[in-house]
């Protein structure tokens, strides 16, 4: 990637680490919904599948 004038490499690293931290925090907060979503998707797929056994 070409260097762009006026950009500070240290500030870019800080912003990148901040973004990664936010994404990891959001994933951590969403983790408890994993089993609920798996059950929801499974129930939905079973209800729309032809010949599904209730």
- How many domains does the chain divide into? 1
Confirm whether 4 is domain-assigned: no
pTM: 0.61
Full domain range(s) for residue 36: 9-48
Q: Is the pLDDT of residue 46 over 70?
A: yes
- Token pair listed for 51: 């010949």
* pLDDT score for 2: 56
In terms of DSSP H, where are the helices of 6-52? Answer: 9-30, 34-48
Confirm whether 2 is domain-assigned: no
- Give CA–CA dist 22/17, Å, rounded: 9
Confirm whether 32 is domain-assigned: yes
Q: What's the average model confidence in pLDDT over 37-44?
A: 93
Model confidence pLDDT, tens digit, residues 1-37: 556 667 788 998 999 999 999 999 999 999 999 999 9
Q: Is the pLDDT of residue 52 over 70?
A: no
By the 8 A CB rule, do 46 and 52 touch? yes
């Amino acid at each position: 990637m070409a260097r762009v004038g006026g950009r500070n490499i240290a500030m870019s690293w800080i912003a990148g680490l901040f973004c990664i931290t936010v994404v990891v925090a959001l994933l951590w907060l969403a983790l408890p919904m994993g089993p609920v979503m798996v059950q929801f998707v499974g129930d939905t797929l079973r209800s729309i599948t032809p010949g599904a056994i209730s």
